[in-house]
């Protein structure tokens, strides 16, 4: 089974995108496998609306372990399953909470086993950071793109396109990340999910 990892900074919409994509793929009840950094694994089934309510949050680092959902794609006459992996948000600094630190290390090691990489950037935020100078190569998104970009199956999702200033943010992301595939998406409204699905399918 192929793995698709969804990563990025905290609060960019990773969890909501994973759930919305599962919803778009007609998954009715999401069966989520939680794998904590210590190695323990357990599963829980949620109706979609409850999963969104419980797992998506305005607070950073709501997701503290790998959470995966299996999705079936129709491919020709058969079916293919992909494991969509939601991860803990990454930051450049060493986080002061040991659990979050462990979860971040877990995100990075899971990257190695993934054939499809969805790197989410908040386009709304990017549109408002214009006044500030451009990020240096030490910026986490720049580092992630440089590290994961050359591998196959990589794309950047510019999320939160429904919010004001996001169009400006998208243009800025395209300028800063030239040469990479950038898909404008709103996990909130569903805009762009079709293109994300196509990206996953192409790399299965
Ligand atoms: N307006 C808007 N809000 C979003 C979008 N995607 C996520 N959010 C909100 O951003 C916050 C963080 O979302 P979450 O999925 O938990 O982010 P994560 O930390 O990257 O997993 C929540 O309040 C979401 O409702 C989007 O496309 N548009
Ligand atoms: Mg999350």
Give per-residue pLDDT as tens, 147-164: 999 988 999 999 999 999
pLDDT at position 12 is: 97
Please tell me the distance from the alpha carbon of residue 112 to that of residue 162, in angstroms, as a whole number: 32
pLDDT classification of 90: cutoffs 50, 70, 90? very high
Which has more confidence, 133 or 48?
48
b/e map of 9-29 (b: 16 or more CB within 10 Å)? bbbbbbbbbbbbbbbebebee
Which has more confidence, 38 or 183?
183
Ligand 2 is an ion; residues with CB less than 5 A from it:
14-15, 63
For tokens 């109706």, what's the residue?
47
Tell me the percentage of the chain whose pLDDT exceeds 70: 99
Highest mean pLDDT range out of 40-49, 102-111, 191-200?
191-200
Contact in structure between 66 and 40 (CB atoms under 8 Å): no
- CATH of 2-202, picked from 3.40.605.10, 2.160.10.10, 3.40.50.300, 3.10.450.50, is 3.40.50.300
| pTM, rounded to two decimals | 0.94
Please tell me the distance from the alpha carbon of residue 23 to that of residue 10, in angstroms, as a whole number: 22
pLDDT classification of 130: cutoffs 50, 70, 90? low
Q: How far is residue 146 from each of residues 97, 111, 119, 140, measured CA to CA in Å?
A: 27, 13, 12, 10
Contacts of 4 (CB under 8 A, 6+ apart): 82, 83, 84, 85, 114, 115, 116, 117, 118, 153, 200, 203
Q: Would you mind telling me the total number of residues written for the chain in this entry?
A: 204
The yes-or-no verdict on residue 75 having pLDDT over 60 is yes
Which residues line the pocket of ligand 1, CB cutoff 6 A? 10-16, 56-58, 62-63, 89, 159-160, 162-163, 186-188
Which has more confidence, 80 or 119?
119
Distance 15 CA to ligand 1 centre (A): 7
pLDDT at position 62 is: 77
Both structure tokens of 117: 């990489």
Domain ranges of the chain: 2-202
pLDDT classification of 131: cutoffs 50, 70, 90? low
Q: How far is residue 96 from each of residues 10, 87, 99, 100, 202, measured CA to CA in Å?
A: 15, 18, 9, 8, 39
The atom number, within ligand 1, closest to the CA of 159 reads 27
The yes-or-no verdict on residue 143 having pLDDT over 80 is yes
């Amino acid at each position: 089974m192929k793995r698709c990892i969804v990563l990025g900074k905290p609060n960019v919409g990773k969890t909501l995108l994973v759930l919305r994509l599962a919803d778009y793929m007609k998954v009715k009840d999401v069966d989520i496998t939680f794998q904590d950094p210590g190695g323990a694994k357990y599963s829980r089934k949620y109706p979609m609306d409850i999963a969104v309510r419980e797992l998506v949050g305005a607070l950073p680092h709501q997701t503290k372990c790998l959470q995966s959902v299996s999705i079936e794609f129709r491919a020709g006459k058969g079916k293919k399953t992909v494991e969509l992996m939601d991860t803990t948000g990454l930051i450049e600094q060493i986080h002061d909470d040991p659990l979050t630190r462990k979860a971040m290390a877990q995100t990075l090691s899971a990257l190695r086993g993934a054939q499809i990489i969805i790197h989410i950037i908040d386009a709304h935020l990017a549109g408002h950071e214009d006044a500030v100078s451009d990020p240096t190569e030490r910026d986490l998104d720049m580092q992630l793109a440089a590290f994961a970009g050359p591998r196959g199956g990589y794309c950047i999702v510019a999320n939160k396109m429904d919010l004001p200033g996001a169009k400006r943010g998208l243009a800025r992301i395209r300028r800063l990340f030239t040469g990479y595939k950038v898909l404008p998406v709103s996990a909130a409204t569903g805009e762009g999910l079709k293109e994300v699905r196509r990206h996953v399918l192409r790399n299965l």
